[in-house]
Amino acid sequence: MIDPVFLLEAAINGVLLGGVLALLALGLNLIFGVLDVVWIAYVDLVMVCMYLVYFLVMGYGWPVWLGGLAGIGLGVLLGLAVHLLIITPILSSPPVNQLLATGGLLFFIQSFATFLWTTDHRSIRINLPVVEVGGLFLSFARLIAFALSIVAMLGLWVFLRRTFIGTAIRAVAQDRGAMALMGADPQRIYLVTSGVGGAMAGLAAALLSIQYSVHPYFGAAFGPITFMVCVLGGLGNMLGAFIASFVMSEIISLGGVLWSTEMGYVIAFALFIVMMFIRPGGILARRER
């Protein structure tokens, strides 16, 4: 029998992991909600930002928090670049073409990273303490990452609810054409959205850097989970994605302790299939389109 302490630790780690996962899922959902395009290469953009953090911290001796900020900056740039170079030309193409474009980007980024930096795993080797809380051992890095991701998500919520452009972004997600009739240049809103999505990827990169090592196929590890979270929460549904992130990370964490990490994912997906039969469109009903 598994020691209940391990289970509890796994459960808590699940929550902590869920924070960063939510960041990824929300970024992806934000872009999809507004642009109706799924960035298949999204987590690979995270990987690129993680490499930046690595090189700045290990190669140039930057403090981690500064490297993290640089990662966010790169995320914004990448978000804008992807939108301008790849998404804009195919905005009116059929979905299969759009998916192939961002899918091709995935190949490109993963291979280019392999070419530039080899498949070696790189870690920023930051030795953060392990905190003991009532008999449980938790990684301090994980706690910080969780706290910061929650702060970021609150920031996103405020941005979307209280600012003018944030409300415009929500409006476009509900009816793209109508916003143009208000005098809003859709391209400007798309750019802001892509920039914000990129920033979230950059932040996720910073937070993941202190927990994991980076390698070109990092996207293959985190990408599928992110997609599954989005699907479980209902694609385009922000609240659904938030909840689903924690559900998924709990299943993965507990599943990992009880069986294996991979089985955790399989169970999560099986749950998704069940959900599809009993509650269509994800945990929360999806918006109309």
Partner 1 sequence: MIGRAAAVAVLLALVVAPFVPMGGMRQYVLHVVIQIFIWSFIGGAWSLMGRFGLVSLGHGAFLGVGAYTTTLLWNFYGLTPWLGTLVAMAAAVVLALIVAYPCSRFGIIGHYFALVTLAVGEVVRLLIIAERDWTGGSLGLTLKTAGASGSLLAAQSADKRVFYYAALIVWLIGLWVWVRLDRSMARAAMEAIGEDEVAAASVGVHVARFKLAITALSAALTAFGGVVYAQYITYVNPETLAGIGVSLRIVFAVVLGGMYSWLGPTVGTALTITLQEYLRVKFGLRLIGMAETIYGLLLVVFIIFLPAGIYGSVRALLARRRAPAPATA
Partner 2 sequence: MTMLALRHVTAGYGHFTALWDVSLEVAAGEAVAVVGPNGAGKTTLLRVISGVIAPRSGELIFEGAVLTGRPAHEIVAHGIAHVPEGRRLFPALTVAENLKMGAFLPAARRSYRQSLERVFELFPVLAERRGQRAGSLSGGEQQMLALGRALMSTPRLILLDEPSMGLAPVMVLRLFDLIRRIRAEGYTILVVEQNVRQVLKLVDRAYLLEVGRIRMEGRAHELAEQDFVRKAYVGL
Residues that bind partner 1 (CB under 8 A): 32, 36-38, 40, 86, 89-90, 93-101, 103-116, 118, 216, 220, 223-224, 227-228, 230-231, 235, 259-263, 265-266, 269, 272-273, 276-277, 280-281
Q: How far is the CB of 255 from partner 1 (least distance, A)?
A: 10
Stretch that binds partner 2, among 127-135, 148-156, 176-184, 224-232 (CB under 8 A): 176-184
* Tokens describing residue 81: 């670049």
Closest CA to 172 of 152, 196, 149: 196
CB 196 within 8 A of CB 23: no
Q: Does 288 interact with partner 2 (rule: CB under 8 A)?
A: yes
Strand partners of residue 130: 139
Place of tokens 């530039």: 116
Q: Does 175 interact with partner 2 (rule: CB under 8 A)?
A: yes
From 77, 184, 263, 284, residue interacting with partner 2 (rule: CB under 8 A):
184
Three-state SS at 185: coil
Three-state SS at 239: helix
Interacting positions 130-169 with partner 2 (CB under 8 A): 164, 167-168
* Cα–Cα distance for residue pair 89/175, rounded to 1 Å: 21
Q: Does 100 interact with partner 2 (rule: CB under 8 A)?
A: no
Q: Does 191 interact with partner 2 (rule: CB under 8 A)?
A: no
260: partner contacted, choices partner 2, partner 1, none (Cβ within 5-8 A by kind) = partner 1
Q: How far is the CB of 246 from partner 1 (least distance, A)?
A: 18
- DSSP one-letter string for 109-174: HHHHHHHHH-S--B-----PPEEEETTEEEEHHHHHHHHHHHHHHHHHHHHHHHSHHHHHHHHHHH
Torsion of CA 60, 214, 10, 236, to 10 degrees: 110
Q: Does 115 interact with partner 2 (rule: CB under 8 A)?
A: no
Q: How far is the CB of 133 from partner 1 (least distance, A)?
A: 31
**Which residue's CB is nearer to partner 1, number 68 or number 233?**
233
Strand 130-133 relative to strand 136-139: parallel, antiparallel, unpaired? antiparallel
Which parts of the chain fold into alpha helices (H)? 4-35, 42-54, 60, 64-82, 95-117, 140-162, 164-174, 176-180, 186-209, 218-233, 238-258, 261-278
From 97, 174, 260, 261, residue interacting with partner 2 (rule: CB under 8 A):
174
Give the burial class of 177: count Cβ atoms within 10 A of its Cβ; 0-12 exposed, 13-18 middle, 19 or more buried: exposed
Q: Does 185 interact with partner 2 (rule: CB under 8 A)?
A: yes
**Which residue's CB is nearer to partner 2, number 2 or number 180?**
180
The site for partner 2, by CB under 8 A, has a size of 19
One-letter amino acid identity for 23?
A: L
280: partner contacted, choices partner 1, partner 2, none (Cβ within 5-8 A by kind) = partner 1
179: partner contacted, choices partner 2, partner 1, none (Cβ within 5-8 A by kind) = partner 2
181: partner contacted, choices partner 1, partner 2, none (Cβ within 5-8 A by kind) = partner 2
Q: Does 85 interact with partner 2 (rule: CB under 8 A)?
A: no
Provide the binding-site residues for partner 2, judged by CB under 8 A. Answer: 164, 167-168, 170-171, 174-175, 177-186, 287-288
